[in-house]
Structure 1
Amino acid sequence: MSKTTRATLALQRAGVSFTVHTYDYDPQAERIGLQAAEAIGADPNTVLKTLMVLVDGKPACVILPSDREVNLKKLATALAGKTAQMMKPADAERLTGYHVGGISPFGQKKRVPTLIEETAFAHDSVFINGGQRGLQVRLDPRDAAKVLGAKVAALI
């Protein structure tokens, strides 16, 4: 497994301090983020999942703890929209350039509005997908928000 991806390169270019953590990705896992948390021995609250969504038909990226579910109504409101829905996996892969299970908010092919669940900021560091299945980057959530130009909102 390569530890250099578009995501890690984007973080390096931004001058962000991060560490890389690999684990055995289980494609059969019911909840990929929870499997990642268990595999790296981290609290599920600190392992954030990356979801690609549509708000009023426009793409957006949402980052939230792996043990929680996004509230689509709150998400739509946070982006001044009326409706929100999950993006189809094939569309998410095409838009981001990453495979489902390895979608990172960093280094996506097309930059889209990004939101981070506010509870992530209760931690000094969080894990976020590093751009490939079985690869997580650990960094300060404030650095992640800054690099992504992300909006912080209550999404759960």
Structure 2
Amino acid sequence: MTPAINLLKKLKIKFNIHQYKHDPNQTNYGQEAIDKLDPSLNITAAQVFKTLIVSLNGNNKTLAVCVLPVDSHLDLKKAAKVLNCKKIDLAVPNLAQKVTGYLVGGISPLGQKQQLPTLIDLSASEHSTMFISGGRRGLEIEIVPQDLVNILQAKLVEITA
């Protein structure tokens, strides 16, 4: 089990696990999840979310988490405004891995080494369930968006371009 799954079990949150065989040559992890998740689930790309770690004002010690659909782009200005800073940048992969305890492509917003301020794109509220990384490549968690917001004390805001 991953820290993300352990946290959900500890909190007694309802969720489903979906696994697929990760292709080690694949680097577009979100698209791979969309392509490989069970077709009978009728998942749209808008339901599968990626987790991005961002640094605030160029400071690698001040970080936040942005969760948004894999087929969308993070609007850096919108996210910076919500995070009350001048600018944000994507954290370098090594830093993201060190801070979260997860490998890039398997970073879950849940069960990170320390809880960072978290923004979840408003579009999540349009779905009865959403899919997020379960903490490793090839592992997705299906969860009710409001449960994720509550667990992470996240802000549900528009952060996509």
Paired amino acid for 1:16 = I
Counterparts of 1:106-125 in structure 2, within 5 Å, are: 106-125=110-129
In the alignment, is residue 141 of structure 1 matched against residue 145 of structure 2? yes
Distance 1:30 1:99, change over 3 A: closer
| C-alpha distance after superposition, 1:104-129 (max 9, x if no partner) | 01100011100000011100001000
Moved over 4 A (4+): none
Instruction: Count residues in correspondence.
Output: 153
Q: Which runs of 5+ in 2 are unaligned?
A: none
Which of 76, 101, 107 pairs up with 2:105?
101
Q: Distance in 1 between matches of 2:47 and 2:13?
A: 18
Query: Is the CA contact 2:118–2:155 (under 8 Å) kept in the aligned structure 1?
Result: yes
1:10 to 4, 7, 15: 7
CA RMSD of aligned residues (A): 1.0
Percent sequence identity over aligned pairs: 37
TM-score under structure 1 length normalisation: 0.94
Q: Distance in 1 between matches of 2:155 and 2:51?
A: 14
Contact 1:26 1:32 in 2 (8 A): no
Write the distance in 1 (CA, Å) between the matches of 2:96 and 2:66.
12
Matched with 1:51 is 52
Letter matched to residue 108 of structure 2: S
Instruction: Give the residue type in structure 2 aligned to 1:83.
Output: K
Q: Which runs of 5+ in 1 are unaligned?
A: none
Normalised to the residue count of structure 2, the TM-score between the two structures is: 0.92
